[in-house]
Amino acid sequence: MAVIESEELPYFATYVSIVILKMMLLSPLTSYFRHTRNVFSNQEDMGSLKEKDKKPIFDDPEVERVRRCHRNDLENIVPFFALGLLYALTSGAATTTIVWHYRIFVASRFLHTIAYIGALPQPSRGLSFFVGFFVNVSMAVQIIMNSWNF
């Protein structure tokens, strides 16, 4: 079996693990909000509630805020995972450039989560989203340019 060796792969593994762990922590946070507010979307989850209170609730603002944040993470971290790996393996960029792409993306996702969960005023969430988005675009463009030898 061939082993791919790259100076950047340990950095990639570290930053991807950090951002995935952050994303995974939003699941227990969603559960916390559901349980503290007695807001459940499935009948079987409502065990201890009185029968009259056993109605699925799909529109609690706090639960939905965490769920939207989690969904936004999925929409951005999955592309980062693929692009970050390809960037490390094919871009030809300096290690410091690659690592700074990773760092900026991870920082933007943490700031985005803080802005989203904390309901901070715009443009805080929008700016943090676009910083991460443009990191992904930057990596994609550089991968394409290197692959086609532009």
- DSSP of 21-46: HHHHHHHHHHHHHHHHHT--SSGGGG
Q: Is the pLDDT of residue 40 over 80?
A: no
Q: Which of 55-59, 116-120, 145-149 is modeled with the greatest confidence?
A: 116-120
Cβ burial, residue 3 (10 Å; 0-12/13-18/19+): exposed
**Pick the residue with more confidence: 33 or 149?**
33
Section 13-31 average pLDDT:
95
* Residue 142 within a domain: yes
Average pLDDT over all residues of the chain: 88
Lowest mean pLDDT among 10-14, 33-37, 100-104: 33-37
* Residue 3 within a domain: no
* Residue 2 within a domain: no
| pLDDT, position 3 | 56
pTM score: 0.87
* Residue 135 within a domain: yes
Domain that holds residue 34: 9-147
| Measured distance CA(103)–CA(56) in Å, rounded | 40
Q: Is the pLDDT of residue 45 over 70?
A: no
**Pick the residue with more confidence: 58 or 94?**
94
Q: How many domains does the chain have?
A: 1
Q: What CATH number does the domain containing 101 carry?
A: 1.20.120.550
* Helices of type H across 1-150: 9-37, 61-90, 95-117, 124-147
